[in-house]
Amino acid sequence: MANQLRFRSGQVQLARLRVDSATVLEAGDLVFLDSDDVKPASAFAWNTDLATTQSAFAASFLGVCHQQSADGDTDDVSVDLSPNSVYEFDVNAATYEVGDDLGPDEASSKLMDQQLEAVASGTLGIARSREYKAASSSLLRVSFASAFHTGSANANAAIG
């Protein structure tokens, strides 16, 4: 069910991060930092409602995973933290303007690993649209805002 990683342009800045042996990751997963290791969005704890969960996820959002990690693997994985990379991602079918804020979509009170949806501006977004779609589309070029890259637009990306 995993998508292939669809990098389109820009500067990638990879960080090597540890993974627990029970964590399964696919290239293209949206990942967050859970204490000292990387986990996919679907492993993020649900909190009250979608908006509350998206806001909490944005505060620990790392970026886009660039390699898989199977059950039992403990090798570090590469994660793109760059706000300058552009990826083509699955989104809820809709029209989009350049600059629209997006957050992780959900299914059955669980964040999705590789799908985004439009969100209200503020602390919910982890990505921005990088193209205009006049007709309803389920694929969109986006750039991400890691909470761990001080050059990103993530409100949590600050030192000190």
Percentage of residues of the chain with pLDDT beyond 90: 84
Average per-residue pLDDT in the chain? 91
First to last CA, the chain: 39
> How many H-runs (helices) and E-runs (strands) does the chain carry?
1, 11
- The whole-number pLDDT of residue 159 equals 58
**Residues of the chain below pLDDT 50:** 1, 160
d(CA 86, CA 91): 14
Q: Is the alpha carbon torsion for 101, 111, 142, 76 positive or negative?
A: positive
d(CA 74, CA 61): 21
Convert the pLDDT of each residue in 59-101 to its tens digit: 999 999 999 999 999 999 999 999 999 999 999 999 999 999 9
d(CA 68, CA 25): 5
- Chain Cα centroid distance, residue 51: 15
Query: Which residues on neighbouring strands pair with residue 45, listed in sequence order?
Result: none
Sheet holding 14-17, edge to edge: 14-17, 77-80, 61-65, 30-34, 37-40
Tell how strand 37-40 and strand 77-80 pair up.
unpaired
Where are the alpha helices (H) located in the chain, listed in sequence order?
Answer: 50-60
Q: Where are the domains of the chain?
A: 7-144
d(CA 48, CA 63): 24
Match 């990638």 to its residue by tokens: 12
